[in-house]
Structures are given as C-alpha cells and as structure tokens.
Amino acid sequence: MSTRREVLVLASGAAIAGAAIPQLVHAGGRDDGWNAGGRDDGWHTTWAAAPTTVPPGTPLTLADQTVRQVAHLSVGGNRIQLRLTNEFGTTPLRIGEVRVAIRAGAGASTDARSGSDRPVTFGGRSSVTVPAGAPLVSDPIALSVRGGDDLLVSIHLPEPTPVTTVAAFAFQQNALATGNVTAARRITPTGTITQYLFLSGISVHGGAGTVVTLGDSITNGANTETNANHRWPDRLAARFRATGIRLGVANVGVSGNRLLHDPNPPAGSPAEAYAAYFAQSGLRRFDRDVLAQPGATHLVVLLGVNDLGHPGTAAPPGEVVSADDLIWGHRQLITRARQAGLRAYGATILPFKDDTLGFYNPENERKRSALNSWIRTSGEYDGVIDFDAAVRDPADPLRLAAAYDSGDHLHPNDAGMAAMAAAVPLHLFKS
C-alpha cells in the first residue's frame, strides 16, 4: 500500500485528502518537508501526546519559567520537527524560546547530552505567539535521533501563562525551572510534573510510516511505572526496532476517553474535578489526533470500555450505550481511516470482571462480548489484535490474569503491557 498522499492545505490548517496541488511555492527555499509535487517527503510521527483541556477552576500559571519535557522516540531520523499546541487555550500563548537536546541518562533525568542542543524556530522566529485554539509546527531541526532515544524539549514561558492545554497523564516526570534555561545542559528543577504541557507531537525525517494507537487509559499507559516507557505502544515500537520494521508509533491514548461521548460529569459528582482530562470523544478528536499525524499509515483502535463503564459513575446514566452503538462508532473510524489511506486494525476490549471502578456488571459483559465478537469475526477491520485473549485469566476468562493485573482488575500492569505488545501480529505491519 502506498503511503504517499496528496493534500490541499487550507489557511485554517485543514487538509483535503486526494486534492492535487498544481504549484507549491517554497518561501526562501526552506525545507518544509514537501517536495515540488506536493507529496509527503518522508516526515513521520515518532512521538505524540493527545492534548486535552483542564478542569474548571484556576489553572496552573507559569511565569518566566522553563518546562523541560522528556519524549521517548519510537523511530529515528536525520531531522526532527515539533508540534506545540494551544488548541484548548482561549488566549494567545507566548513562547519565549524553545530548544531540544537528546537526553543523557534515564529515569527522571533531564540532563542533556553534550553537543546535542539545538535551537528551534517557527517560520524563522525563535520567539512566537501561538493563537488560541491552534497548533504550531516548527521548522525542521538538524538533529539526528534514533528510535529509543529520549528527546528533551525545553519551552520558556516569559509571561504569566495559564496552563490550559495538556496531556494530563504522562507517566513521565518532567521538570520546571526558573527563568530561561532552555540551553542549559543541566537545570535545577523548582518543581516536577507528570503531564505534558503545550507539546503534542514530534516527527522525524525518516522511517517508513507511523502506527497511530487510538485508545483510552490502557493505551495511555495507566498504572505502569513512571519514567519506564512500559506502555504497550512503547513495547510495540521496541519490537518494531528489534525486527527491522521502520515504523514510528504515535500514542494518542487518553485516560478516561470514550468513543462516543465527550466528558460530561454529573453535577456535584467527584468527576467534575478531573473529567475534563478525559478528552473529546474518539470520534470528535479523530481528525486532529489521528489523521493530522505526519506520515500516518496504520491505525490501531482500542476504545469502548469507558463507554460501558462511565454511565452511572463519571457520566450520566442517560449516556448508556449498546453494543450496536459501539459497533457503529467503530465503523465510522474505519471509514474515516480508509478515506485517508490508513489501514485500520481493531483491538479487542480487555476483561474487567470485579474491577474496583464499578464498571463491571453482567449487562456490560454481554456488550463487551458482542463488540469483541464483531471485531474478531466481521472482517470490517483490516486486521484484528486480540488483546483480550492475551491477558485474560484462563481459569476465568472474564477477569484479567493475576500476573497481568495492576490491582484494579481493569488496567494491566507492566507485565500485562508487555503481553499486549507481544500479542500484536507483526505481519500486519510488514506490507
């Protein structure tokens, strides 16, 4: 299958797949990742974090501070680009300076490797303003990286800046420091965060495509060890590298995400304090979080468990869905992926009997079983990844196996994530 797609880029940032571009003007001859024919010139997402808004109230505000963030790259290349995001901001986002470097060390380290520091510009500018509701893509950066490297992205925020666009559950410790220390090899943190702020993507010039993993907390990495990169998409990327598959992996899983509904916490419920982090529905965010990924060639969908479990807990009972509703939503994702030239793979929903979040009941189990049966047997997806079979308890298939259970009987632990990645048939990605 060809991975080259022609697009017409509009002033709003939207793109119409399949539209021919008769002419393309390069401002100042800058290498922007497109050749004279208007085709994809080898840029592929190597890391991603799906942006969300924040709960009501007074957001964290940073002023004259640097946030240094660690991104674990899935595939390498000889140049990189960043995607910053103010997509949930209501006011312009002022960026004083951005620099990148390859990380030295592991775990919680934010030290830069000597000689790897590079400045980042946006249309030739080092200091920029990101409009409210918009992303911002950098100029290509001359830095060679390898899959498995950790990239440090240091952003200086010179003015009081409400943090309104985040990826709330990073499972990675990032650092805050006073002043503009973007170029420092080692910083003195004044605080740490386990979120990604104003950063949603990194692409590389290299690789052969990108697998986008659309999901919820299980894809996002919930309950895995912080700083360890043990999410199942990270483990899958490591398998790709070990077997010579030159595909990036873009993890756009969001904890609490549903396929069919946006967050809608009942008034007065505890969920009002956190439901905004659950992100817009999979259907609503699909174009931004999946189709906008540079070089996307494959889609893996693992969504539906929160659609079953949230009504009556973190969402109103009136948002109860049927198995047919979920199948309808999956069919929409398949159709939209294929229109954009992506191969779409369906992943079965993991078992969650006796979970501690209140998701399980016999009716929800019947719906899960019906959805999984459709994913396995309908032939509507281009391929099937049977996560359910990989992690269920052979003695009680409605439960997670004890060896893979993080303790809440819903989310796999680190070993469970490894089992999920090992269950992905690599032949689906070798064509």
- 7 — pLDDT class (breaks 50, 70, 90): very low
Predicted local distance difference test score (pLDDT) of residue 207? 86
Domain boundaries, the chain: 1-41, 51-201, 208-429
Is residue 236's pLDDT more than 90? yes
Condensed to tens digits (0 to 9), the pLDDT of residues 49-73 reads 999 999 999 899 999 999 999 999 9
- Residue 179 is predicted with a pLDDT of 98
What are the backbone angles phi and psi of residue 284, rounded to the nearest 5°? -75, -35
Q: Tell me what the mean pLDDT of segment 174-192 comes to.
A: 98
Where in 198-280 does DSSP place strands (E)?
199-205, 210-215, 248-253
pTM of the model: 0.91
pLDDT tens digits along 96-149: 999 999 999 999 999 999 999 999 999 999 999 999 999 999 999 999 999 999
Q: Please work out, in degrees rounded to the nearest 5, the angle formed at the alpha carbon of residue 329 by the alpha carbons of 323 and 333.
A: 140
2 or 155: which leads in pLDDT: 155
Counted residue by residue, the chain has a size of: 431
Residue 21 pLDDT > 70: no
**CA 192 to each of CA 66, 166, 226: distance values in angstroms, whole numbers, following the listed order:** 11, 15, 13
What percentage of the chain exceeds 70 in pLDDT?
90
Find tokens 């992303």 and name the residue.
Answer: 135
Topology of domain 208-429, CATH: Rossmann fold (3.40.50)
Average pLDDT, the chain: 91
Nearest CA-CA partner of 21 in 31, 6, 33: 6
Average pLDDT over residues 410-423: 98
Rounded to an integer, the average pLDDT of 178-191 is 98
- Nearest CA to 335 among 327, 248, 302? 327
- With a cut of 60, say whether residue 93 has pLDDT above it: yes
